[in-house]
Amino acid sequence: MFAPNQRVKVNLANLTIQGVQFSQNVQEALGTVLEQTSTDPPTYRIELLFSFKGVKRVEVPEERIRPT
């Protein structure tokens, strides 16, 4: 379980988010947890430290998130 404002690393490899396809190399994107958006399955909204083609916030399952 992750808490708001917690710094994390997110594996975005091979995901498509808001029409942007992340390459297999994006395995440790740094970000900050904003909130938990679902409990089944656990999903979180993360604000990335970088913007990739205009995407700054992503929703990802808990299994793709690690604490820093």
Please report the pLDDT score of residue 34 as a whole number: 98
Q: What is the dihedral of CA 14, 16, 19, 25, to 10 degrees?
A: -30
pTM of this structure? 0.93
Please report the pLDDT score of residue 56 as a whole number: 97
Paired strand residues for 47: 32, 57
Give me the tens of pLDDT residue by residue for the chain, a chain 68 residues long.
899 999 999 999 999 999 999 999 999 999 999 999 999 999 999 999 999 889 999 999 999 999 99
Tokens of 58: 């992503």
What domains appear along the chain, each with residue ranges and CATH number? 7-67 (2.30.30)
